[in-house]
C-alpha cells in the first residue's frame, strides 16, 4: 500500500553553518520540491529547518545521496531521519576530530618532533587502510623515552569543536546518557569529558615510568570492537533498544558503532567512512546532531 502523503514517515533536516552562510527560503523551497515534503518547521532561523517527507527511495522522494549533493553546493547538510523515535536516550561519541578539533596523538607527536611520521600512520588507520591496533602500537612505540610533560603541552592545543558542549549538555538535560569513547588516551578524554559534561569516558591508557613515556599502552586496546561493545553495554544498562542510541565519529574505527546505532553520524569523516554511512555532517557543526533529533535552538543548553 502506498504511504499517505498526509502522514509522512520521515523528516528531512536541512542545516546551514551559521557562521558561514544562511538557510534561505529558496533552499527550503528546493528541499520541499525535491522531497515532496510538507510544511517546514523552523528549528533555528536562518540555520536549521525540518521538513516532513516520505522514506528515502519511495515515491518521488530520492535517496539521500542526490539530496546531499544538491545542498552541498550551498555548504548545507541534509539528513533524513525517521519521524518516530528521533530523540535518542544515549549518545556515544568519538573524541579526536569529532568532539575536539584535532588528533591528540598527532599533536603529542608534533611536540615530540615526529609529527609528520605519526600523522601519516594516523591517516591510514582512520581511513581503514591499516589495522587500528597495529597502527596505535606503532605510533605509541615511536614515543618511547619521550618526556611525559609532552602530554600537558599537547593538551594546551586541544579545542572543543563548535557545538560539543551544547550537544552533550542538551542531551543530558533531556535525560539521555552520554559517553565519550575514544581510541585515544584517558589523559585527554578525562579532561574533555569534564569540559563537555559527558557522564562517562573510556579510552586507552599510556604507560609512564618515572617521567617518561614507555612507548606502550595498557592492554586491552580500545579499538573498533570495544567501541561497539560500549554502545551495546550502555544501551542495555539504561534499558534502551539500540535504535534509541546515537553514535558519532569520523574514522574507520568508528564504523562498527555507527552502523549499529539507531542514528550513526559520520562527522566531517574520512572518505571510507563517508562511503559507508548515509547520515553525514560535512559542512556544519555538532549542533546538527541536535537538530536531527528535533531539538530547536531554543532548547539547547550552552
d(CA 31, CA 12): 8
Mean pLDDT within 15-24: 94
Q: What angle do CA 244, 67, 281 make, to 5 degrees?
A: 50
The pLDDT assigned to 6 comes to 57
Does the pLDDT of residue 76 top 50, yes or no? yes
The pLDDT assigned to 63 comes to 85
- Under CATH, to which class is 90-287 assigned? alpha beta
Question: Would you place residue 223 in the very low, low, confident or very high pLDDT band (cuts 50, 70, 90)?
Answer: very high
pLDDT tens, residue by residue, 163-177: 999 999 999 999 999
How far are the Cα atoms of 60, 138, 201, 229, 270 from residue 289, in angstroms, in the given order?
A: 26, 34, 19, 22, 18
Q: Which three cell numbers stand for residue 212?
A: 617518561
The single residue of 27, 77, 94, 107 carrying the catalytic annotation is 94
Pairing of strands 263-267, 245-249: parallel
User: Is 96 among the catalytic positions?
Assistant: yes
Pairing of strands 206-209, 212-217: antiparallel
Element containing residue 183 per DSSP (H, E):
strand 177-185
* pTM score, whole prediction: 0.95
d(CA 44, CA 50): 10
Residue from 296, 287, 175 nearest 238 by CA:
175
b (16+ CB within 10 A) / e for 23-62: beeebbebbbebbbbbebeebbeebbbbbbbbebeeeebb
pLDDT tens, residue by residue, 142-169: 999 999 999 999 999 999 999 999 999 9
The pLDDT assigned to 90 comes to 98
The single residue of 27, 33, 77, 96 carrying the catalytic annotation is 96
**What is the chain's alpha carbon radius of gyration, rounded to the nearest angstrom?**
20
Residues of the chain above pLDDT 90, percent: 91
Mean pLDDT within 94-104: 97
Q: Are 204 and 218 in contact (CB under 8 A)?
A: yes
Q: Which three cell numbers stand for residue 20?
A: 558561514
Question: Would you place residue 1 in the very low, low, confident or very high pLDDT band (cuts 50, 70, 90)?
Answer: very low
pLDDT tens, residue by residue, 244-280: 999 999 999 999 999 999 999 999 999 999 999 999 9
Does the pLDDT of residue 2 top 60, yes or no? no
Element containing residue 16 per DSSP (H, E):
strand 10-16
For the chain, what is the mean pLDDT?
A: 95
Does the pLDDT of residue 3 top 50, yes or no? no
User: Is 199 among the catalytic positions?
Assistant: no
d(CA 109, CA 71): 37
Does the pLDDT of residue 200 top 50, yes or no? yes
Using the structure block, give the residue that is written with the C-alpha cell 522514506: 55
Amino acid at each position: 500500500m502506498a504511504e499517505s502523503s498526509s502522514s509522512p514517515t520521515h523528516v528531512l533536516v536541512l542545516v546551514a553553518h551559521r557562521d558561514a552562510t544562511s538557510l534561505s527560503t529558496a533552499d527550503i523551497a528546493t528541499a520541499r520540491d525535491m522531497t515532496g515534503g510538507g510544511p517546514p518547521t523552523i528549528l533555528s532561523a536562518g540555520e536549521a529547518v525540518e521538513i516532513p517527507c516520505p522514506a528515502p527511495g519511495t515515491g518521488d522522494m530520492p535517496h539521500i545521496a542526490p539530496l546531499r549533493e544538491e545542498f552541498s553546493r550551498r555548504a548545507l547538510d541534509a539528513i533524513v531521519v525517521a519521524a518516530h523515535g528521533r530523540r535518542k536516550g544515549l549518545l556515544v561519541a568519538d573524541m579526536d576530530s569529532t568532539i575536539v578539533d584535532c588528533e591528540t596523538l598527532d599533536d603529542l607527536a608534533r611536540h615530540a618532533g615526529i609529527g609528520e611520521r605519526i600523522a601519516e600512520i594516523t591517516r591510514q588507520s582512520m581511513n581503514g587502510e591499516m589495522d587500528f591496533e597495529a597502527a596505535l602500537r606503532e605510533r605509541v612505540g615511536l614515543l618511547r623515552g619521550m618526556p611525559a610533560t609532552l602530554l600537558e603541552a599537547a593538551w594546551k592545543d586541544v579545542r572543543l569543536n563548535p557545538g560539543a558542549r551544547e550537544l552533550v549538555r542538551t542531551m543530558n538535560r533531556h535525560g539521555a546518557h552520554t559517553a565519550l569513547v575514544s581510541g585515544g588516551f584517558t589523559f585527554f578524554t578525562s579532561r574533555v569529558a569534564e569540559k563537555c559534561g559527558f557522564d562517562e569516558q573510556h579510552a586507552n591508557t599510556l604507560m609512564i615510568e618515572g617521567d617518561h613515556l614507555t612507548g606502550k599502552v595498557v592492554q586491552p586496546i580500545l579499538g573498533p570492537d570495544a567501541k561497539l561493545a560500549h554502545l551495546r553495554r550502555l544501551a542495555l544498562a539504561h534499558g534502551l533498544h539500540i535504535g534509541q542510541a546515537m553514535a558519532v565519529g569520523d574514522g574507520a574505527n568508528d564504523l562498527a558503532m555507527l552502523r549499529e546505532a539507531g542514528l550513526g553520524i559520520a562527522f566531517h569523516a574520512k572518505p571510507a567512512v563517508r562511503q559507508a554511512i548515509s547520515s553525514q555532517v560535512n559542512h556544519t557543526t555538532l549542533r546538527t546532531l541536535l537538530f536531527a533529533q528535533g531539538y530547536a535552538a531554543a532548547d539547547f543548553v550552552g
